[in-house]
Amino acid sequence: MSIDTTTSVSLGVRDVHLAFGANRVLRGVDLTVARGATACVIGPSGSGKSTLLRTINRLIEPDRGDVLLDGRSVLADDPDALRQRVGMVFQQFNLFPHMSVLRNVTLALRRIKKLPEDEAVAIARAQLELVGLVGKADARPGHLSGGQQQRVAIARALALQPQVMLFDEATSALDPELVKGVLGVMADLASGGMTMVVVTHEMGFARQVADTVAFMDRGVVLEAGEPAAIFETPEHPRLRRFLSQVL
Ligand X SMILES: Nc1ncnc2c1ncn2[C@@H]1O[C@H](COP(=O)(O)OP(=O)(O)OP(=O)(O)O)[C@@H](O)[C@H]1O
Interaction site with its own copies (CB under 8 A): 20, 42-46, 49-50, 91-92, 143-148, 151, 168-169, 172-180, 183, 201-205, 207-208, 241-243, 245-247
Task: Report helix, strand or coil for 20.
Answer: strand
144 sits near ligand X (criterion: CB under 6 A)? yes
Q: What is the DSSP string of 197-244?
A: EEE-S-HHHHHHH-SEEEEEETTEEEEEE-HHHHHHS--SHHHHHHHH
Residue whose CB is less far from its own copies, 10 or 172: 172
Residue whose CB is less far from its own copies, 156 or 168: 168
Residue 210 makes CB contacts below 8 A (sequence gap 6+) with: 38, 39, 40, 198, 227
140 sits near other proteins (criterion: CB under 8 A)? yes
Restricting to residues 49-88, name those near Mg ion by CB under 5 A: 50
SS (H, E, C) 25-67: EEEEEEEEECCCCEEEEECCCCCCHHHHHHHHCCCCCCCEEEE
Contact flags string 21-50 toward ligand X, x per CB under 6 A: --x-x-------------------xxxxxx
**Which residue in the set 145, 184, 191, 204 belongs to the binding site for ligand X (CB under 6 A)?**
145
8 sits near ligand X (criterion: CB under 6 A)? no
Residue whose CB is less far from Mg ion, 36 or 43: 43
From 64, 44, 63, 53, select the one nearest 11 (Cα to Cα). 53
Residues that bind Mg ion (CB under 5 A): 50, 91, 145-146
